[in-house]
Structure formats: structure tokens, C-alpha cells
Chains A and B, each alone.
Chain A
């Protein structure tokens, strides 16, 4: 039943609106469907993604918060932990049962005490510190490891694009 999920999402939405973390705006795309959110994430300062505004969609399951939501960037991204279609691969978004990469400890996985805010903060820190070990995007992981300068350049282009300045 969607009732309890709805209440919880409403509470989270309120918290994120009244007291938003810096550089994050998130909320339902349309209140007719409270289970589809859009988040805008500002690239963290002092990193190669600094200044970019990255839109992402978050899709919640009807039994939220028992199972984690799914998150997907809606803009072009180039990052070791983001699949080329935009899906985000971080351990907080994985249910304790499934382990696509086979390395995560259960402690950093999804649990009902996590929240949208924590997910978004994790994504921000993921942008700041890519984890090349668990590469979702192999090309990006390789570039991050071997050709850091090239990666920075690519990230700069993505920041530019995310602000609507074209390529």
C-alpha cells in the first residue's frame, strides 16, 4: 500500500524544502505522482564537477522506505560510478539482498533509516570522490585512473553542458 510511503515521502519533502542541504533542490516532478522526484544537484566545490547543475530523477517503490529508490541522471554524465544511461551505482541505493558488484558490505547498503537527503549527499560525495574500484562506467574509471587531466577536461565539458551552454 502506498499510504505509509506517501506519508514518509511527504515528511522528507517537507524536510528538504524547509531545511535544504547546500546545492540540492529535490521534490516531486508533479504532485499527482508523489513517487517520481526530480533533484538538482550542484557539483561539489573544489572538484572537477564544480559549478555544474545536474538534474536527476528518483523513482520510489510503493513499499518505500523498505526498498531503496532508483536514481538516474537526466543529463550527460561521465563518471566512474554512473552508468552511461545515467543510473547511479552507489551502495546506499542497493538493497541488502542484491550486490551487483560483489564487494559492498551490508553496512553501507539501503535501510529504512536512510533518506532522500542522505542519498543525495552520498551522490554529491560520489561526484567529489569517484570510486574507480567499482566502475559502472569502465571508460570513465579507466580515464580517472590513468589520464586524470583528460578526465578533468571531460568533466568541465559536462559542467558546461549541464548549464545549457551547449558543447
Chain B
């Protein structure tokens, strides 16, 4: 019976409200304490009545500290008097919680800055799961009855929740940082420092456990130390991974043993954490004396899950050993001579080979690279020749790390869901609890509870995009005050880049209220369907009609054209202008770009290359459209000539001069194009009107096409005459 609850998390009040309420409560209890103190002082009793607390409670050794003494300072008196009232104690706890929250948020801003959505989601998941689980433990296993005990445990687990949350954040942040080659060292230092302090905090807490356990028995000690160990090992795991990553990043050349080191660190730490967790749960089950209660049920489920995890991990390690063993037995190390003969990088990691293994098909690979590939597939990566290693027993494939797939017929549905759990949580961005009662007894129900926050995520993304667009629109309107903000925004929605929009404005494609006089034909924003046709007349037509070598023609073009970058005879120089128009000002060669060592420079160059590609494509498209629309106008002109020869369109008369230079075309081309000029653009076979080369040649081709069209037109006219 799947049960989907969309908003089970109670609508928490916003933080400022919560802080204000806490402060009011604190004020109230301070006033209470003051009243009580004045009563006490009036009656002259300075020592508290004998404690009514249970002698066996955890805080027994602390109670006598809370007797109010004459010589205490006022603040201490207040605190002591407040501690004797259970409501005030709760208020104090709440204040302490507020304090922890503030410290946590401060620390988070200091070290991580703004959290990414996924990190926030993970921390939230972690905290809710932790709170939910520890709630069961506190009331089910520890069987807390007095307020003092409860305060103690809440404080204890709150500390751990705090540390766990930061350990989780550091882990997520580390994984994110490891995706980038250019992270500043200070960022690494901050995260590593936090991890180190979490680790030392868990050791200090462990010492505290020893102290408490000394007076309260070893069961309690074991229970508490397990928490410390879990936290310490998890943190240590992240620290080790971090250290390996940093070492690898700064290691010159190829670190051949890297795969091995990483694998065994992972294996050891994972098994350690799983083992401690497993023992901890078994101990809780035996010590807590909680058989046949709800708590025991939850613990049993957890034990079962942990057991399967351990089994899976061990199985994976067996497979790994087998692969390594097989590989070492079957594929010999390549000799130095073979390496020299090969003289190529490893095809898997693209790095130099100092030692390698040789497959039967004579292909060489790094030891580690080949091993990790063989865990996926038993064939040569280069030639696909099967290698026929019998890797696994029972046909189960080794699992790549972090990926938990069902791996045998013995898996129950609950486990399978448990195994899928991480991915589902990632996808939905929520919590996922599953309870399968049929595992325990056939009549029990099974249900899943899922908490999703996807709407929060989506809203934030939309808001982000809008603000980015707004910023870009502001940039554009600063450069071009005559363009209205909304028009710029509209165009930016289409282009998603300031440079492209600027190019649109300069070309006159984006025209707003204050239309510049040079572009009469383009009166619509580029989003409208007619634009490609109309914009041709604005920008591409005039350069087309002007041949670059006829200087007499320049006078006929509108004077404003001289300012637009498109008024260049060669398209490539136009892009140089545009790319220089951006403030980065890099120069480009057409074949490729320099690969900069600086990350920001690389990003800028990539961005410019992308924009150039898009501009180039647009330019070509516009040219082709021009050619197509010209062929249409010619056809119309023919029609006009047929009905009334007295009307002559200005475009055809102006291009007559152009025509004179290009009459020497081969007749075959002319006849070829003749048949096509009659057909409509859309139904013509693909690519007919397209130019194939960037740069000056494309212009040449367009010019030649124009000439051919003119020739066709003239012949048609002659035929009519």
C-alpha cells in the first residue's frame, strides 16, 4: 500500500519568528526565576530543598551543583533557580538549540558560503532521518523517564546531529570540489580544517564517554562510544579520500598505484563503518531489552539492511580479487621493448605508459585502467576481442562503487527498495521511508512514505533564471539607452547571451521605440516568424548587392550601413569585429583556439567560440534566406513584367549593374539553377541554396549565385520578348 505524502514536514515557522518566540519564552522564565528568587530571599532560605530527582538518573552527580548558594553571582542564581523548574528547563534547552542553530548557520556561511540545492537537501534529509531514528532510540531503547535524562540525551544527540550535518556537508562539498580542476587552495584548507575539527570533536566526545561510562557501567559506555566511533570513522573516510584526491591532483606524471590505494581505503573504511554500526545495533537489541516492541522492529530492519550491505561489499571484494588474480595470471606485463614499440598513451586514461599489461590482441593498457575496465566488461577496449575470463560465481556482476543494484534471487523487495533508495532520493529530492511488514509476518502491511520538496527546487531555479536575464537586460540597456528593458529582455530570452543581443541591435534586428534611421525594413522583434525574410533587406541585402571590387557601388548603400559590422565584404572579418566588441578582445584563428592555463580565460574563450559559431550559422542562414527570397522576388518581378512592363522594381534595376560583371559563368551552372529558381524555397531539395564555406568564399558563392539568378531572369525576359 504505497502512501505518498507530499507535505508531511509540518510547516515550520520562519527562523526570525522562531528566534523571537524563543527570546520571549526566555524572558518569561527569567521573570519567573526573579519572582522565585525574591520569595526565597525574603524567607531567608538560601539552600534549595533536597532534590527530588531520581538517584539513578544520569545527571545525579550534577544536581548538587544547582543548590543556590549565598555567594553565587546573580546570573548563576537565576540559572540555578530556572533549572529547578521543568518548564524553564525546556525553555533553556530551546535557547541552547537556537544558539546551536545560529552557530551552525554562521559556520556554514563562513566555510561553505551559499549551499547548493543538493547539499541543502542532503543535510535536511540527514537531519530528519537522524532525528526520527534517535527519537525511537531515546524512547524505545533507553527508555527515558525523567526530564534530566531527556535533557542530557537531547543535548548529546543534538551535538551529534550538528557534527553529522557538517560531516555530510563537507563530504558533499568535497565531491563537488573534486569535479573541478581549478579550486583555490583556501577552499580546500577550509573544508579540510572543518573535517579535522569534526574528527577531533568526536575524539573529545569519546573521552567524555569514557568518563561517563566509568561511573554508569560499560553498557552505556558502549552505546555512547559507538556514536563517537561512527562519526570519527566517517569523517576520517572523507579526510582520507580528500588527501588522496589532493595528492593525485598535484602529482606529476602517472600515479600507477592510485587505483589500488583508493580501492583498499574505500574497502577498509566502508567495512569499518558498517561493522561498527552493525555491532552497535546488535548491542542495542540485546542491552535495551526491547524485544517485541516497535523499536526492536526498527532496529531489526536496520540490522538486516546492514548485514546485506556487508555481504554485498564482501562479495564485491571477492570479485575484485578474482579479476585481479585472473588478470595477473593471464596477461603478462609488457616488456620495455614492447612499450617502446607501442609508443602510445594508454587508451583508457590518455596518459603515458611506463609499465603496462598486454592483452592477447597486443593492445597495451595501464594495470589499474585495465583492471577497472575488466570489472565492467571482459573484452579489449580497443578491438572488442572477448577475453573470456570467468570472473564471477553465479553470474553476478561486480558492482561499481556507490551503485547498488539487485544482485541475486535472494533479495527481498524491501531490500531492493532500500537499495534503490539513494537514487530515488536524489531524483525526487526528498525523504523516503519504506516499511515492509511482510518480511516479519505475512499479515503485516507494507507501506512507503515519501517526502518531496521538488517544488521548492523548481521555484528557485526559475527565480534564478529570471534574475540572470534581468541582469543581462540591464547590461544591454546600459549600452543602448534607446532600447527598452522589455525589448532587450525579450531578445535575451531568445539569444541567452548579451553579445548576441548586442549584435542583433547593431544589425538592426532588434528595433524598439527609437528606431535608428538606417534600418527601415526591420520593424519587428526577431521572435516573429517573418523576421528572417524582412531582416534580409535590412542587413544582408545591401552587402550582397555590392560587389567588393566595385567602388562606385558604395555610394548607393545607405550611409548608416558603414557603422554596422555586417557591412563587411567578408563574413569572417565581421566576426572578428563582434568578438573584439566583447571586452575580452581575444583574437581567433579559424581552426581552433589556444588552450589557456587559466580557468576563467578558458571559459571566456569557450563562450566566445560558441557565440561565434552561432553568429556564423545565423549569418549563413540569413544569406541563404536572402538567396531564396531573391529568387522569389525575381519570380514576382517576372510576373510584373508580364502584366505591365512599364513597372520596374528598384531592386532588379540596381542589380543590373552587378550583373554585368558575372556574365561569364559556365552555362551548365546557369541552366542548373534555372530549374531551381522556379521551385519554392521550402520544397526545394535540402542544401541547394546553402553556402558551404565560412569566410570570404561564402560571400563569393552568394555573389555568383546572384549573378546566375540575374542571368536566368534576363534569359526569361528575352524569351518573352
Q: For the complex, is A165 an interface residue (Cβ under 8 Å from B)?
A: yes
Whether B594 lies near A65 (C-beta < 8 A) is no
Whether B532 lies near A160 (C-beta < 8 A) is yes
Tell me which of A17, A112, A164, A166 contacts B618 (CB under 8 A). A164
Q: For the complex, is A47 an interface residue (Cβ under 8 Å from B)?
A: yes
Contacts of B351 in A (CB 8 A): 7, 11
In B138-185, which residues have CB < 8 Å from any A CB? 175-176, 178-182
Whether A51 lies near B249 (C-beta < 8 A) is no
| Chain B: minimal CB distance from A10 (Å) | 6
Instruction: Scan A30-68; emit 1 where CB is below 8 A from any B CB, else 0.
Output: 111111001010100111101111000000000101110
Contacts of A38 in B (CB 8 A): 610
Q: In the complex, which residue of chain B has the Cβ closest to the Cβ of A21?
A: B592
Contacts of B176 in A (CB 8 A): 32-33
Whether B613 lies near A47 (C-beta < 8 A) is no
- Known A3-B258, A113-B347; judge A19-B382 contact (CB<8 A): no
| Chain A: minimal CB distance from B351 (Å) | 7
- Known A6-B179, A17-B592; judge A31-B599 contact (CB<8 A): yes
Q: Report, as a range, how many residues of chain A touch the other chain.
A: 35 or more
Whether A42 lies near B400 (C-beta < 8 A) is no
Tell me which of A7, A25, A96, A153 contacts B609 (CB under 8 A). A25
Q: For the complex, is B61 an interface residue (Cβ under 8 Å from A)?
A: no
Whether A165 lies near B531 (C-beta < 8 A) is yes
Q: For the complex, is B687 an interface residue (Cβ under 8 Å from A)?
A: yes
Segment at the interface with A among B268-276, B371-379, B701-709: B371-379
- Known A33-B176, A63-B400; judge A46-B686 contact (CB<8 A): yes
Contacts of A6 in B (CB 8 A): 178-181, 249
Q: For the complex, is A137 an interface residue (Cβ under 8 Å from B)?
A: no
Whether B349 lies near A7 (C-beta < 8 A) is yes
| Distance in angstroms between the alpha carbons of A155 and B609 in the assembled complex | 25
| Distance in angstroms between the alpha carbons of A155 and B240 in the assembled complex | 53
Instruction: Scan A16-29; emit 1 where CB is below 8 A from any B CB, else 0.
Output: 01111001010110
Contacts of B428 in A (CB 8 A): none
| Chain A: minimal CB distance from B680 (Å) | 11
Q: For the complex, is A121 an interface residue (Cβ under 8 Å from B)?
A: no
Whether B595 lies near A14 (C-beta < 8 A) is yes
Contacts of B495 in A (CB 8 A): 164
Instruction: Scan A73-103; emit 1 where CB is below 8 A from any B CB, else 0.
Output: 0000000000000000000000111000000
Whether A111 lies near B494 (C-beta < 8 A) is no
Tell me which of B262, B529, B603 contacts A1 (CB under 8 A). B262
Whether B613 lies near A40 (C-beta < 8 A) is yes
| Distance in angstroms between the alpha carbons of A107 and B384 in the assembled complex | 6
| Chain B: minimal CB distance from A159 (Å) | 7
| Distance in angstroms between the alpha carbons of A164 and B610 in the assembled complex | 14
- Known A46-B687, A51-B624, A63-B372; judge A3-B614 contact (CB<8 A): no
| Distance in angstroms between the alpha carbons of A159 and B625 in the assembled complex | 12
| Chain A: minimal CB distance from B238 (Å) | 13
Contacts of B381 in A (CB 8 A): 111-113
Instruction: Scan B676-705; emit 1 where CB is below 8 A from any A CB, else 0.
Output: 000000110011001010000000000000
In B522-541, which residues have CB < 8 Å from any A CB? 526-529, 531-532
Whether A31 lies near B180 (C-beta < 8 A) is yes
Contacts of A125 in B (CB 8 A): none
Contacts of B610 in A (CB 8 A): 25, 38, 40
| Distance in angstroms between the alpha carbons of A159 and B617 in the assembled complex | 10
Contacts of B532 in A (CB 8 A): 160, 165
Instruction: Scan A130-167; emit 1 where CB is below 8 A from any B CB, else 0.
Output: 00000000000000000001001101100110011111
Q: For the complex, is A106 an interface residue (Cβ under 8 Å from B)?
A: yes
In B296-355, which residues have CB < 8 Å from any A CB? 347-351
| Chain B: minimal CB distance from A162 (Å) | 8
Contacts of B690 in A (CB 8 A): 45, 50-51
Q: For the complex, is B602 an interface residue (Cβ under 8 Å from A)?
A: yes
Q: For the complex, is A118 an interface residue (Cβ under 8 Å from B)?
A: no
Contacts of B175 in A (CB 8 A): 2
Contacts of B594 in A (CB 8 A): 17-18
Q: For the complex, is B79 an interface residue (Cβ under 8 Å from A)?
A: no
Whether B692 lies near A45 (C-beta < 8 A) is yes
Q: In the complex, which residue of chain A has the Cβ closest to the Cβ of B265?
A: A1
Contacts of A153 in B (CB 8 A): 682-683
Tell me which of B179, B369, B376, B400 contacts A34 (CB under 8 A). B179
Contacts of B179 in A (CB 8 A): 2, 6, 32-35
| Distance in angstroms between the alpha carbons of A46 and B599 in the assembled complex | 37
9 nearest A-B residue pairs (beta carbon): A112-B348, A27-B606, A3-B248, A113-B347, A166-B527, A46-B687, A53-B617, A2-B178, A111-B381
| 19 A-B pairs with C-beta separation under 8 A | A3-B178, A6-B179, A6-B181, A11-B351, A13-B595, A18-B592, A30-B603, A32-B180, A34-B179, A34-B180, A35-B179, A53-B613, A67-B376, A97-B397, A111-B379, A155-B686, A163-B614, A164-B495, A165-B531
